[in-house]
Amino acid sequence: NSRWSLTGMTALVTGGTRGIGFAVVEELAELGAEVHTCSRNESELNQRLQEWSDKGFTVTGSVCDLSSRPQREQLIEKVSSLFDGKLNILTNNVGTSIVKPTIEYTAEDYSMLMATNFESCYHMSQLAHPLLKASGVGNIVFISSVAGLVHAPVGSIYSATKGAMNQLTKNLACEWAEDNIRANCVAPWFTKTSLVENYLNGVEGKKFLGAVASRTPMKRLAEANEVSSLVAFLCLPAASYITGQTIAVDGGASVNGFP
Ligand code: NDP
């Protein structure tokens, strides 16, 4: 049934070699989409592309640092030439954090996080707009965070970039509805990815993750494919009247007032 299929659609997923982005690439490809992705590490990207081709998925990739304006422009040029000037799905996934008390952030920390997490998805949405419009059915999905909805101790700059994404989702949904482009936002809670493994691998990190699980009603972290399934759903024709929403994937964490 075509309401539950992405066959014939094209997608760009930023940061698809690991974690949530990786799961989104596989989910969209499995539902029939042709996917382009990117990351900064060429050998890891090539390895993933080989694995996807072995699985029978149609995925291509570019090396691109999403925090760079000229590299974002090159990425969209590439996508435009690959997909004939059209794009159905843009998943703005790239993001990172530096965790410090607010008074210790430097100007460099601020610029790096703003460029990587927010400016990148703002500019990618601007650049993708003509392609999304030309496709006739466009979808943008932002990967935000529960940290953009409530306080979580993962850095105030990170949380502010996610809060900005949540608002941008609403603006684009209303501004671009006339172009048949929907915009939605997925807000995960702590998810088992390389980001979490790298930051929270020590004794203190393990303790912190234990505390996260204990205040989460479902008492565990998310798997990346529990996030990617919502991303895919939002892009399906079956979700054609859903726009401007931020939806948490969080095992109940953000509605739990009595942890
Ligand atoms: P990971 O660090 O595990 O994966 C990030 C992916 O993006 C990798 O493929 C990485 O490849 C790529 N990437 C990172 N920086 C850049 C860049 N500047 N340019 C291009 N590619 C880049 O992250 P997650 O999967 O955990 O996170 C993905 C998104 O989900 C982020 O926006 C994050 O904020 C959000 N999120 C994650 C949560 C979690 O608990 N994991 C919770 C809530 C939200 P490479 O490094 O080689 O470039």
Q: Is 138 helix (H, G, I), strand (E, B) or coil?
A: strand
Which one of 105, 110, 122, 158 is the catalytic residue?
A: 158
Residues 6 or more apart whose CB falls under 8 angstroms from that of 45 comprise 17, 37, 38, 39, 61, 62, 63
- Ligand 1 center–CA 152 separation, angstroms: 18
Instruction: Spell out the long-range contacts of 69-72 with Cβ–Cβ below 8 A and sequence spacing 24 or more.
Output: 69/119, 69/123, 72/120, 72/123, 72/124, 72/127
- For ligand 1, is residue 251 a contact (CB within 6 Å)? no
pLDDT of residue 198: 83
ipTM of the complex model: 0.99
Series of mean pLDDT values for 10-residue runs along the chain (259 residues): 94 98 98 98 98 98 98 98 98 96 98 98 98 98 98 97 98 98 98 90 90 96 98 98 98 93
Residues 6 or more apart whose CB falls under 8 angstroms from that of 102 comprise 156
pLDDT of residue 197: 87
Distance linking the first and last C-alpha atoms of the chain: 42
Q: Which mutation among 193, 194, 200, 212 tests ligand 1's pocket best, with the greatest number of atoms within 8 A of CB?
A: 193
pLDDT of residue 258: 86
Q: How many CB atoms lie within 10 A of CB 258?
A: 4
Nearest CA to ligand 1 atom 34: 95
- Ligand 1 center–CA 142 separation, angstroms: 12
pLDDT of residue 181: 99
Q: Which mutation among 20, 42, 190 tests ligand 1's pocket best, with the greatest number of atoms within 8 A of CB?
A: 20
For the whole model, what pTM was predicted? 0.98
DSSP H/E element including 109: helix 107-113
- For ligand 1, is residue 17 a contact (CB within 6 Å)? yes
Comparing C-alpha atoms, which of 9, 31, 148 is closest to residue 84? 9
* C-alpha to C-alpha distance for 49 and 126, rounded to whole angstroms: 27
pLDDT of residue 259: 75
- For ligand 1, is residue 39 a contact (CB within 6 Å)? yes
- For ligand 1, is residue 148 a contact (CB within 6 Å)? no
Q: Are 28 and 106 in contact (CB under 8 A)?
A: no
Q: Are 147 and 162 in contact (CB under 8 A)?
A: yes
Helix axes 19-30, 42-54, angle to 10 degrees: 30
* C-alpha to C-alpha distance for 183 and 11, rounded to whole angstroms: 14
**The two three-digit tokens of residue 80, written as one number:** 């435009």
Q: Is 158 a catalytic residue?
A: yes
Residues 6 or more apart whose CB falls under 8 angstroms from that of 57 comprise 25, 26, 29, 30, 35
DSSP H/E element including 41: none
